[in-house]
Amino acid sequence: MFRGSMVALITPMRADGSVDEKAFQDLVEWQISEGTEGLIPVGTTGESPTLSHEEHKRVVELCVEAAKGRVPVIAGAGSNSTSEAIDFAKHAKKAGADATLVVTPYYNKPTQEGMYLHFTAVANAADLPMFIYNIPARSVIDMSVETMARLAKHKNIVGVKDATANLTRPLHTKRACGADFIQLSGEDHTALSFNAAGGTGCISVTANVAPRLCAEMHKAWREGRTEEAMAIQDRLVPLHDAMFCETSPGPVKYAASLLAKGSDHCRLPLAPLADASKAKVREAMVSVGLLN
């Protein structure tokens, strides 16, 4: 159920900064029609840090409504406050999401034991499959394989979104957590390498603007068409580079705007994309074949 090309959805916004609900649901529909196999609303790419709690919950509801059960929805439900994460997880369950994505608590830097207690509390509070989101570059902390193995014993904790870019990590995680523990890459550049080391898919930023290519790459890999998958991987490299030329989701929202998939507006403190970065994004999209 949770595999292949999955997308960390942007949250389209109007020029005044309000959430563009129609553009968001249109984006969801386009993603499904292009072959995306899973939808992740209100993660970091969806600007969860600057959405109000009401907006956060509304975006999850909009995603579930638009998906209509055709592909799984993994709702962002992370917070560095355990009570807030529990509230988001409970709402995701009520809204009809298929799973939650809960990030390691950022800024307050809990110990490994603190992380274990945090994720256990959220998993106990909402009877819904949960993915741990391990992204040391943003949260400052790194969940150890040992802690993840402890958490993998919980019936509701089913997998991880691994954004460490450490390709030895999935090997050790598989040994510690078992082959049934679902490992999804959170790093576009290494998606195929991650799959080769035990992963089953990628929660992608790039898939916001290149959903068909990302989906074809994962399908080719799954079906043993390795050379074809690697050829698509090579084709996507400049686009991956461009999507992170500035802090995400600035570049990907600009790229989406070039495809008429919402405006390029990001809420402060993310600044508008610099002209040089815009040129880099546009050039990458042309080179990949997304723009003329």
Q: Is 203 annotated as a binding residue?
A: yes
- SS3 assignment, position 201: strand
Distance CA 74, CA 85 (A): 14
Instruction: State the pLDDT at residue 97.
Output: 98
Q: Phi and psi at residue 9, in whole multiples of 5°?
A: -65, 135
User: Is the Cβ–Cβ distance between 255 and 209 less than 8 Å?
Assistant: yes
Q: What is the mean pLDDT of residues 194-200?
A: 97
Q: What is the mean pLDDT of residues 247-271?
A: 97
Would you place residue 257 in the very low, low, confident or very high pLDDT band (cuts 50, 70, 90)? Answer: very high
Would you place residue 166 in the very low, low, confident or very high pLDDT band (cuts 50, 70, 90)? Answer: very high
Instruction: State the pLDDT at residue 125.
Output: 97
User: Is the Cβ–Cβ distance between 38 and 4 less than 8 Å?
Assistant: yes
Distance CA 161, CA 284 (A): 26
Distance CA 242, CA 281 (A): 5
The answer for residues whose C-beta is within 8 angstroms of residue 134's C-beta and 6 or more apart is 104, 142, 143, 148, 160, 161, 162, 163, 164, 186
What does the angle CA 102 – CA 178 – CA 154 come to, to the nearest 5 degrees? Answer: 45
**H-type alpha helices, the chain:** 21-33, 53-67, 82-95, 112-125, 136-139, 145-151, 169-177, 191-196, 211-222, 226-243, 250-258, 275-288
Encoded tokens for 109: 């830097």
Instruction: State the pLDDT at residue 110.
Output: 98
Q: Does domain 4-210 bear CATH number 3.90.650.10?
A: no
**Bridge-partner residues for 182, per DSSP?**
159
User: Is the Cβ–Cβ distance between 227 and 273 less than 8 Å?
Assistant: no
Provide the 10 A C-beta neighbour count for residue 287. Answer: 14
Would you place residue 123 in the very low, low, confident or very high pLDDT band (cuts 50, 70, 90)? Answer: very high
Distance CA 84, CA 247 (A): 25
Distance CA 72, CA 68 (A): 9
DSSP state of 247: S
Portion of the chain with pLDDT greater than 70, in percent: 100
Distance CA 273, CA 42 (A): 21
Instruction: State the pLDDT at residue 186.
Output: 98
Q: How far is CA 210 from the centre of its chain?
A: 14
The answer for residues whose C-beta is within 8 angstroms of residue 52's C-beta and 6 or more apart is none
Encoded tokens for 268: 């402060």
For the chain, domain boundaries = 4-210
Instruction: State the pLDDT at residue 120.
Output: 98
Q: What is the mean pLDDT of residues 159-172?
A: 97
- Catalytic sites, residue numbers: 133, 161
Distance (Å) of CA 25 to CA 11, 22, 53, 68: 10, 5, 19, 11
Instruction: State the pLDDT at residue 269.
Output: 97
Q: What is the mean pLDDT of residues 77-87?
A: 98
